[in-house]
Chain A
Amino acid sequence: MSIQLEKKNMFLNSFCQMPEVGLANQFQDEKFFLLLRAHPVTQLFWIFNTVALIIIVFISELFVGQFINPLQLFYFRLFAFCFTFSYALINFTSWFFNVGLISNFRVLDLDFIPLNYRNITETKIFNVEDITSESKGPFASLFHYGDIYVQTAGAKGNIEFHNVPEPNKAVKIINSLVKENKD
């Protein structure tokens, strides 16, 4: 392999070079070059909602507390905490496991929604025909994230990575891997 990438694989990064991850169906000499997740800025929506939920619970306690007894109030607080915690956790899990993986053999798109949806799309790297990156909106330009579309040969579905950071850099890496594989 002639491609040399600096190791940047912090486990909570959304752009990991040479990540230390494993797959259930990983080939013996398969090496991962890139792991892509949605840019953290795109996750601000649910983080903001979590904070808003905490504030709403504190405010609503002032009103609800007048009508219920102390034990019921304790239950109310506990349930509000559980709900907020679970809301944040499911969103974090969804973000963490929705990844794009690029290895020396294939390109994988893992889509997970905990509890109800799991979709894994993969294509061999020599099947990659064309790669497009797209940045839409002022936030995408400001924080430098965008979508990557990997078009494959034949009737197979295309692979899409949404809101990933540094799309141009990712496209460059995938292109060099494709080129190396086809040479």
Chain B
Amino acid sequence: MPNSSSPTQAPSRMRQNCGPEQKPAAPGFEAEILARAQTGDHQAFAQLYSVHKRRIYSLCLRMVGNVAEAEDLTQEAFLQLHRKIATFRGDSAFSTWLHRLAINVVLMQLRKKGLSLISLDEAMDPAPEDGPSRSFGAPDLKLSGAIDRLALEKAVGDLPAGYRLIFILHDVEGFEHNEIASMLDCSIGNSKSQLHKARLKLRDALRSQSRAEEQA
């Protein structure tokens, strides 16, 4: 197989990440690399890795909360990409397709770990008892002050996997609901609804933490 290459040496515009870089600054450029990678060009595949590695790794890390596991999942996602890249036909954006592939790898891992996730459908439809509380009735406490990163990390980590996934894709990674719906084979309305429930659950968790700290 082809020569070794360092994905960290990709052209600077390919290295730009952070935020939704797959709303391509240079779509023709990525399309050309993608086309080359589809023909087995290892250098082009390394460039694709360079462009997408941060978001895929970050997604894995946020979903499993463990560095070693996230590294393994990132590796597996890109290996699957290598095996399947020739089948990409451009029906969706490449980043959407790649994220869908990575999400399936992550969900497979969660299933292996014994979490009650059998399919994306179940991920998108948590048990009723996992739902957020409503906010009518007794007066509510507002979240006070700035949200602490560790507190938010813990709250996100405690979310049911389906809610966590939607929250990460939309609020952390910046995907739009139509993109998430395409990734998860669900309706846009379902994506909106799950995101809303995820935020409500996070609010519940953060307020509980805040109350516990006040009482300590």
Q: Check if A and B associate.
A: no
Instruction: Name A residues whose Cβ lies closer than 8 Å to a Cβ of B.
Output: none
